[in-house]
Structure 1
Amino acid sequence: MGAGVLLALMAGLMWGLVFVGPLLLPEYPPVLHTLGRYLAFGMITLPLAWWDRAELRKLTRADWTEALKLSMVGNFLYYLFLASAIQRAGAPLPTMIIGTLPAVIAIAANLRNPARDGHLPWHRLGPALVVILAGIACVNEAEMAALPPAGAAQRSGHFWGAALALGAVACWTWYPLRNGDWMRANPNRKARAWATAQGLATLPLALLGYAAYLAWRLAWAQEVAPLGPRPWAFLGLMATIGLLSSWVGTLCWNAASQRLPTALAGQLIVFETLAALLYAFLLRGVWPGGVTLLGIAFLVAGVLVAVRIRPEPHA
């Protein structure tokens, strides 16, 4: 249990980096952020695949199909929705909507397969979820109060940002449940090799998507800039996020999924929200206010309550 929680924390710290990527390069469209990140992820996994070649040979065609599905939904669609939401509404609103994932995943997992994972009693799980949601509400209120008065265009941007962030929530509710199914069904498989397999499945998708994007730019804009207006900054950011957020984060999450009940692991995604807030405040160069700190305290308290809950056998 302790090792699983620590691994989930490390995954959250890695995944939190993706929330500041679109803010560091705002002139790049969300689709280029998405394709660049996962092209880097796929290329990083090529030498790692040689390292895990014996383990990868054990994967069946069904396993590779599952890795492809996980990559499409949990990587491409999720990050495309998230990057689009951040560029339209800023970081706070999408971060808070994504922050509802612990509650959404815990409820979905508790309803979906309690016979395998055991049942987390609602009367004990409920207070933890309420505390987590209260923390998210506090941070969201503080962030929204700090925004300037919104005009019609800004209100429209926030609306579409919220809608796109909800799409990201849907993708990342499906991903950990489905990924957890595979990891729990294959307890003897290495989490590192499964993370590498998802990276290998991502690479051809990223290459095809990048080629289609360049062809579209050539057809409609009559010019092609494969690496955008700031190529070295783009390459460095994509390599960093591709390695840390995509491969290391997936590795840590896979290892955590093998050690924790799915409903409990879902709640620990709250670490991603905390990390994203930390990085956002560091980027701003300001210290969070009292309401924000109270919200963060609620989030941490909710997680601490949740990790003390033990699943009960399902009747």
Structure 2
Amino acid sequence: MLLGLLFALAAGLMWGLVFVAPVMLPGYAPALLTVGRYLAFGLIALPLALLLDRRALRELQPGDWREAAKLSLVGNFLYYLCLSAAIQRAGAPLPTMIIGTLPVVIAVCANHRNRVRDGHLPWARLAPSLALIAAGLALVNRDELQHLQAQAGDPRRYAEGALLAIAAVACWTWYPIRNADWLRAHADRSPRAWATAQGLVTLPMALMGAVLLGLVMLAAPGTLVPADFVLPFGERPWAYVGLMAAIGLCSSWLGTLCWNEASQRLPTSLSGQLIVFETLAALAYAFAWNQRTPPPATVAGVVLLVAGVAWALRIKPQRPQ
């Protein structure tokens, strides 16, 4: 349990880096950051596969590779596509609040779906943990809520953005549950090799995405990327390439590796709640980058998030009779 908690914490620290990338590269559109991240993930997975995981990858069957492709397609590309489109339609506040419900949604779905395999966390004991996490997320995103309430926009665009954000939540609720299914069913397999496998199947998808993005940029300038964007890597090419390489290695490969290790050791209903570590890491990095101290409401929200996770860790799963 403790080792699984530490791996989940490490994954959150890695994934939090993704949320500061747009702040560090403000002139780069979300589509460029998404394609760049997963292209780097795939390219980094190639030497790792040859040097570290060649034997373990040879043991994977065609069905395993198909499962890795599904996980990568839904958990990486489709998730970010829906999230980026939601932000474009409704702005950042509304999608951010909807995505923030992920720890609660995953915990509820997994606690019902995997009760036979992982044991059932009694709802009466799980409810306080989920309530603390929900309250913490609300406080952490209070500024987003206030901004959303003050905005006057097109109701149709808000509705479309909300639906796309809900689709993103569905994608990343499906991903950790299915990923844990494979890892728990193959407890003898290496979580590191499974992370590398997902990177390998990501590479052709990222290459196709890069080609499509390039065609759109040439055919319809200004649609996905600003019309004055300097091809191929923008005005800060070294910063872009370096940051994408760092995120591809740390957030994609190393983050997936740590999450796989946690998923093999923890009930999915518990590991789902531990995604709050990603929120906490993203907050810490953002405040550090902007050289600001968090307001009291944010600090109170962090305390509630940590309290919710601590409460959940004390609950022992009950095996069905």
TM-score (norm: length of structure 2) = 0.90
Bigger drift between 41-50 and 223-232 goes to 223-232
In structure 2, what is the equivalent of residue 137 of structure 1? 138
Inter-partner Cα distance in structure 2 for 1:313 and 1:147: 43
Q: CA deviation at 1:217?
A: 2.1
What CA deviation, in whole Å up to 9, does each residue of 1:160-206 have, x standing for no partner? 65544333211110000000000000000000000000000000111
Q: Determine whether 1:202 maps to 2:202.
A: yes
Flag the 1:30–1:264 CA change in 2: closer, same or farther, 3 A: same
Q: Which amino acid aligns with 1:135?
A: G
Inter-partner Cα distance in structure 2 for 1:89 and 1:290: 27
What CA deviation, in whole Å up to 9, does each residue of 1:118-150 have, x standing for no partner? 111101001110111111111222444478953
2:116, 2:320 within 8 Å by CA — same for their partners in 1? yes
What CA deviation, in whole Å up to 9, does each residue of 1:12-34 have, x standing for no partner? 01111111222322332222211
What CA deviation, in whole Å up to 9, does each residue of 1:25-47 have, x standing for no partner? 23322222111100000000111
1:93, 1:140 within 8 Å by CA — same for their partners in 2? no
1:19, 1:91 within 8 Å by CA — same for their partners in 2? no
Bigger drift between 262-271 and 214-223 goes to 214-223
Inter-partner Cα distance in structure 2 for 1:267 and 1:259: 14
1:138, 1:295 within 8 Å by CA — same for their partners in 2? yes
Superposed, 1:183-202 pairs within 5 Å as 183-202=183-202
Inter-partner Cα distance in structure 2 for 1:164 and 1:104: 16
TM-align CA RMSD: 2.4
In structure 1, what is the equivalent of residue 224 of structure 2? none
In structure 2, what is the equivalent of residue 67 of structure 1? 68
Question: How many residues align structurally?
Answer: 314
Inter-partner Cα distance in structure 1 for 2:37 and 2:174: 21
In structure 1, what is the equivalent of residue 47 of structure 2? 47
2:15, 2:251 within 8 Å by CA — same for their partners in 1? yes
In structure 2, what is the equivalent of residue 81 of structure 1? 82
2:93, 2:148 within 8 Å by CA — same for their partners in 1? no
Sequence identity percentage: 62
Q: Which amino acid aligns with 1:52?
A: D
What CA deviation, in whole Å up to 9, does each residue of 1:197-245 have, x standing for no partner? 0000000111111112212222333998232333222111211111110
In structure 2, what is the equivalent of residue 235 of structure 1? 241
Q: CA deviation at 1:256?
A: 0.4
Inter-partner Cα distance in structure 2 for 1:81 and 1:53: 34
Flag the 1:158–1:28 CA change in 2: closer, same or farther, 3 A: farther
2:97, 2:144 within 8 Å by CA — same for their partners in 1? no
2:114, 2:268 within 8 Å by CA — same for their partners in 1? no
Q: CA deviation at 1:76?
A: 1.0
Q: Which amino acid aligns with 1:294?
A: A
Superposed, 1:204-223 pairs within 5 Å as 204-221=204-221
Q: CA deviation at 1:111?
A: 1.5
In structure 2, what is the equivalent of residue 288 of structure 1? 294
Flag the 1:90–1:300 CA change in 2: closer, same or farther, 3 A: farther
Superposed, 1:255-294 pairs within 5 Å as 255-294=261-300
In structure 2, what is the equivalent of residue 313 of structure 1? 319
Inter-partner Cα distance in structure 1 for 2:175 and 2:316: 23
2:14, 2:254 within 8 Å by CA — same for their partners in 1? yes
Inter-partner Cα distance in structure 1 for 2:41 and 2:30: 17
In structure 1, what is the equivalent of residue 109 of structure 2? 108
Q: Which amino acid aligns with 2:120?
A: H
What CA deviation, in whole Å up to 9, does each residue of 1:33-89 have, x standing for no partner? 111100000000111001210000000000000000000011112223334555676
Inter-partner Cα distance in structure 2 for 1:22 and 1:148: 24
What CA deviation, in whole Å up to 9, does each residue of 1:246-287 have, x standing for no partner? 000000000000000111111111111111111222233211
Q: CA deviation at 1:291?
A: 1.3
Q: CA deviation at 1:113?
A: 2.2
Flag the 1:9–1:161 CA change in 2: closer, same or farther, 3 A: farther
Q: Which amino acid aligns with 1:291?
A: A
Bigger drift between 212-221 and 110-119 goes to 212-221
Q: Which amino acid aligns with 2:242?
A: G
Task: State the SS of the aligned residue for 1:152.
Answer: coil
Match of 1:297 among 299, 303, 306: 303
Inter-partner Cα distance in structure 2 for 1:220 and 1:100: 35
Unaligned stretches of 5+ in structure 2? 222-226
In structure 1, what is the equivalent of residue 168 of structure 2? 168
Inter-partner Cα distance in structure 2 for 1:294 and 1:164: 30
